[in-house]
Amino acid sequence: MRRYIYCDNCKDETEHELIREDKQLYRCLECGTVTQYIPEKEIKVKAVISTGAVSRVGNVVFKEFDTVEVGDEIVVETAEGFRIGEVTAIELKNGKRSRFADVKDVATVWLRDVGEVEVKFSLHKGAVTTPYKMLTSGDTEFEIGEKLNIDNLLFRITRMKLINGKLLKRQGEKAKAKEIRRIYAMFERKLR
């Protein structure tokens, strides 16, 4: 059996071969150094990931001694495939909530999908404000002053309210979709 392990002598991750299974001893195929390698156990933790109003239950695989913190971005496996989520809450095995925890103490991780997010808009046309939602990649950038074609109407972004509470309103300020709570845009003109 072969696997890639960090070699202290080579100062790099190199291919090693198993030479004694009962002691988990491996020999570096580059320099011949023998190392004991005991892989960390993996722990599966229940994960609930939300995209807008839709929540999916899946799981996250951590290493035994990992920690998790609110704000971490991690990959969640669901029945529909893999999703990228930002941790919004951590529920411990004792039923309490925490902002930071050792994985061995975690019962459920709650996340919001940042791979594909729903961006909310307030579109202003005269005295009328219309709500609008757009599904896009969490890494899509929006910029103050940017012009958007929405249903053959041209709107200019004037302000962006971020999830952290900050308000962007200066020309050229940018934010990623996963950071935005709401975008405010003014009607410019009708497109042909």
pLDDT of residue 192 exceeding 80, the answer is: no
Q: What is the pLDDT of residues 154-180, one digit of tens each?
A: 999 999 999 888 999 999 999 999 889
Domain boundary among 99, 114, 129: 114
Show the 3-state SS of the chain: CEEEEEECCCCEEEEEEEEECCCCEEEECCCCCEEECCCCCEEEEEEEEEECCEEEEEEEEEECCCEEECCCEEEEEECCEEEEEEEEEEEECCCCEECEEEHHHEEEEEEEECCEEEEEEEEEECCEEEEEEEEEECCCEEECCCEEEECCEEEEEEEEEECCCCEECCCCCEEEHHHEEEEEEEEEEECC
> Per-residue pLDDT for 132 more than 90?
yes
Query: How do residues 27-82 score in pLDDT, each as one tens digit?
Result: 999 898 898 888 778 889 999 998 777 888 999 988 888 889 998 888 888 888 88
Residues 149 and 174 in one domain: yes
Domain range for 128 is 117-190
Q: What would the pLDDT profile of 69-126 be if each residue is shown by its tens digit?
A: 998 888 888 888 888 888 999 999 998 998 999 988 999 999 988 877 888 999 998 8
Given this model, what pLDDT does residue 82 score?
85
Same domain, 73 and 25: no
The number of folded domains in the chain is 3
CATH classification of the domain holding 76: 3.10.20.120
Same-domain check for residues 59 and 27:
no
